[in-house]
Structure 1
Amino acid sequence: MVALHGLAILFLVAAAAHDLRDRRIDNRIVLAVAGTGMALAVHAWSMGTGGLSAAIVPVLVAVAAGLPFVGLFALGLMGGGDVKLIAATSLVAGPAQTADFLILTCLMGGLVAGLIWVRGIALGRCAGHSRDTDCQTVPYGVAIAGAGIWISLSAIAGALPAEIAS
């Protein structure tokens, strides 16, 4: 479980870096995050926690978590890669942590947007009706990845013996 969360962290860092650089999230990275989340669900099932529903419920929760963001995508307020990454990272978070993940994502999204705004003002590029892409878009994948990393680090810390974790 620790290794899978570590792998998820690596993939989420890659997603954030890709979104910062290109304002896009590569589908291969999203699939890697989703695959890691599915592996975590199968691991939970194999450990005998929750029966078969332990492998199925995370998928249903991930779909439910992603659905509201499809509307934001349809309105042009969020990128498709962001929506897919939210659903994939919900798989990593698991049903018990998905609400925390979504709340953290929103909080971190506000922080990222604020930092982009302050950076644009400091560089004098985001005044008025700028057409600068950096001023018009927020790399929300950074917030999604940050929240997912937080959840995975919490899971890793919870899996460690008390002497090591403190």
Structure 2
Amino acid sequence: MTLLILFPFLMILAAVNDIMTMTIPNFIPLVLIVGFSLFAPVAGLSATTIGLHATAAVLMLAVTFCFFACGWIGGGDAKLAAATALWFGPTMPLLDYAVLTSLIGAGLTLALLVARRMPLPVFAEEWAWARRLHGAGTGVPYGMALATAGLIIYPDSAIWKATMLS
């Protein structure tokens, strides 16, 4: 049961890092991958199911790498999305995750576009992360959308359900 905290903790860490630095450290997707690899058998997922989860992650990486190559998302975002897909597998939660991430990402992008048209509040001018986030040439911390959607969808995942039933 305690291992169920790993995924939410890493999602929150990824979101905060992305907002503060516009990067997602490589150790976050790596720990997600290792955590799933260790936790899935303990949760009772079969080797076939684990393989299907791995396939979903590889496919997600291929898609998000194309997004990265087009300049639509950062490399950390692509790796985080793939590591998250490993936890969700090729079932409905993964499709829900992709759609919800897109919607949250669109909302975040629109909110940033609006906010960037307004002056940065005086109290926030001291914060380097706020100045960077407010900058017109700065991208969108899409890790926030990935993490938020991941946290919302997580209770629908096979690994969550398998752990809760045992």
Q: TM-score, normalised by structure 2?
A: 0.78
User: How many Å separate the matches in 1 of 2:89 and 2:23?
Assistant: 25
Q: Per the alignment, do residues 4 and 114 of structure 1 end up closer, same or farther by CA in structure 2, a change over 3 Å counting?
A: farther
Query: Counterpart of 2:104?
Result: 108
Residue 139 (structure 2) aligns with: 137
Q: Secondary structure of the residue that 1:122 maps to in structure 2?
A: coil
Which moved further from structure 2: 98-107 or 27-36? 27-36
Match of 1:79 among 74, 90, 101: 74
Partner AA of 2:143 in structure 1: G
Question: Cα RMSD over matched residues?
Answer: 2.5
SS at match of 1:69: helix
Q: Distance in 2 between matches of 1:72 and 1:122?
A: 29
Deviation at 1:102, TM superposition (A): 0.9
Instruction: State TM-score, norm by structure 1.
Output: 0.78
Query: Hey, what does 1:23 align to over in structure 2?
Result: 22
Percentage of matched positions with identical amino acids: 29
Aligned residues: 150
Which runs of 5 or more structure 2 residues have no equivalent in the other structure? 121-131
Distance 1:123 1:154, change over 3 A: farther
The CA distance in 1 between the partners of 2:40 and 2:14, in whole Å, is 21
Match of 2:128 in 1: none
- Matched to 2:145, the amino acid is A
Shift in alpha-carbon separation, 1:40–1:118, aligned structure 2, 3 A: farther
Shift of 1:13: 0.3
